[in-house]
């Protein structure tokens, strides 16, 4: 039996003035309901009580009947119910230790969005009309939807730069496993080069943030001069947001092209299980690491591999990939960051990144065959532990 992958197709659209007002009102109501429900659940938690989705849904009905929150009746009820479902998912992930405790939504910092299920929109002949609206959205169809497919969920959002997007979730029968290749490759991420493969190929780091650093600094200086709460400050903030949006778009486009090629050409991809949230605490490298976007690269690699029948193997971050000779297996004591090439006692000369990628490949093959995690090497090549060897040397 063939199972189709659910995939979101995201398009930009240009709302009319009336549609923009209606959607902005909906965003505000969604944020209000989410925050009210989160406050109620947090207060109940202090009393050692739990409130589920059904109880918050009953609260929503009561809120709509009050004079203070009567404006909630002016927008579609479906996005409000979906906000409560999202909050329920947030608490479920928190109790399962997959995420942090849900946080309140902010008007400026949180993403403005609203989710519509099939009962709250109409999609006919390529025209999408949302509830409470008389005209369809003016969508820029940058690519067609799969033929004969109807969206099950529609999410409308507005980014910080003021651009409007609609995301349609539907089953995509075009996502099929790629033909098996049998190729296995180790992928080492870095800053000088974004990726280094075990084949010796190096992918240049485009450093998008460095390219637009002067433009961003100028926009931020201009923003700092504006008075708080003024219209000019809002305009200056919008300029800064547009620069950030341009950076994010270019970075995302490059990662999509890169991960698609890697998944298409290789059967198994071996990466290092990095903790990026700890690495960005380094003040000297935080900007460069954030610009490289290693977490997003891994996320794209994993979901595309799942789509197309590929495998991604993550190896323990404490394994000494860089200091271990990929030819003879000798482990060096230390390897400063400024050392880019080194020669082993066996005579092999290594490029630092290529050697790490080859060790990643070997470790990934061991994980695939044995089905167990790879631990850092703690024994010398002779097979005896270093502690035991020192004890033997002290014996008369």
User: Mind telling me the catalytic residues?
Assistant: 188, 272, 353
Strand 202-204 and strand 5-13: the pairing is: unpaired
CB 8 within 8 A of CB 79: no
What is the DSSP annotation of 343-367?
E-TTS-EEEHHHHHHHHHHHHHHHH
| Nearest Cα residue to 128 out of 23, 217, 261 | 23
Strand 184-189 and strand 5-13: the pairing is: unpaired
Sign of CA dihedral 204, 206, 288, 297: negative
C-alpha 241/C-alpha 244 separation (Å) is 5
Q: What are phi and psi of 207, to 5 degrees?
A: 50, 60
> From the centroid of its chain, how far is CA 280?
16
What 3-state class would DSSP assign to 219? helix
Residues 6+ apart with CB under 8 A from 286: 280
> From the centroid of its chain, how far is CA 5?
19
C-alpha 257/C-alpha 264 separation (Å) is 11
Give the orientation angle of helix 231-265 with respect to helix 294-307, to 10 degrees.
50
Helix (H) / strand (E) containing 272: strand 268-272
CB 60 within 8 A of CB 80: yes
What is the CB neighbour count within 10 angstroms for residue 112? 20
Helix (H) / strand (E) containing 186: strand 184-189
Q: Token match 């902005």: residue?
A: 24
C-alpha 164/C-alpha 393 separation (Å) is 72
């Amino acid at each position: 039996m063939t199972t189709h992958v659910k995939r979101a197709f995201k398009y930009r659209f240009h709302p009319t003035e009336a549609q923009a007002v209606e959607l902005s009102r909906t965003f505000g109501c969604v944020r209000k309901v989410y925050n009210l429900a989160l406050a109620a659940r947090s207060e109940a938690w202090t009393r050692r009580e739990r409130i589920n989705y059904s109880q918050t849904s009953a609260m929503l009905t009561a809120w709509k009947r009050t004079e203070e929150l009567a404006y909630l009746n002016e927008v579609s009820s479906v996005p409000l119910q979906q906000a409560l479902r999202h909050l329920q998912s947030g608490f479920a992930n928190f109790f399962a230790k997959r995420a942090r405790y849900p946080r309140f939504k902010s008007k400026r910092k949180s993403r403005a969005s609203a989710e519509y299920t099939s009962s709250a929109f109409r999609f006919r002949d390529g025209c999408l009309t949302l509830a409470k609206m008389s005209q369809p959205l003016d969508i820029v169809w940058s690519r067609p939807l799969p033929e004969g497919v109807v969206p099950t969920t529609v999410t409308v959002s507005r980014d910080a730069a003021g651009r409007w997007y609609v995301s349609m979730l539907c089953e995509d029968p075009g996502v099929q496993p790629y033909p098996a290749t049998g190729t296995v490759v180790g992928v080492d991420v870095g800053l000088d080069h974004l990726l280094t493969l075990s084949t010796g190929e190096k992918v240049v780091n485009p450093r998008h943030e460095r390219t637009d650093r002067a433009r961003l600094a100028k926009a931020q200086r201009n923003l700092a001069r504006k008075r708080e709460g003024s219209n000019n400050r809002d305009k200056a903030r919008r300029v800064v947001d547009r620069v950030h949006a341009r950076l994010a778009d270019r970075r995302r486009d490059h990662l999509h092209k890169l991960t698609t090629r890697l998944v298409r050409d290789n059967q198994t991809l071996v990466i290092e299980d990095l903790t990026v949230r700890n690495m960005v605490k380094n003040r000297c490298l935080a900007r460069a690491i954030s610009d490289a976007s290693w977490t997003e690269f891994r996320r794209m690699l994993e979901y595309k591999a799942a789509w197309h029948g590929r495998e991604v193997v993550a190896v323990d971050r404490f394994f000494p990939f860089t200091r271990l000779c990929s030819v003879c297996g000798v482990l060096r004591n230390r390897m400063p960051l400024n050392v880019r090439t080194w020669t082993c006692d066996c005579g092999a000369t290594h490029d630092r990144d290529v050697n790490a990628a080859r060790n990643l490949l070997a470790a990934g093959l061991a994980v695939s065959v044995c089905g167990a995690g790879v631990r850092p090497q703690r024994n010398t090549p002779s097979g005896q532990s270093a502690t035991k060897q020192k004890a033997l040397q002290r014996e008369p």
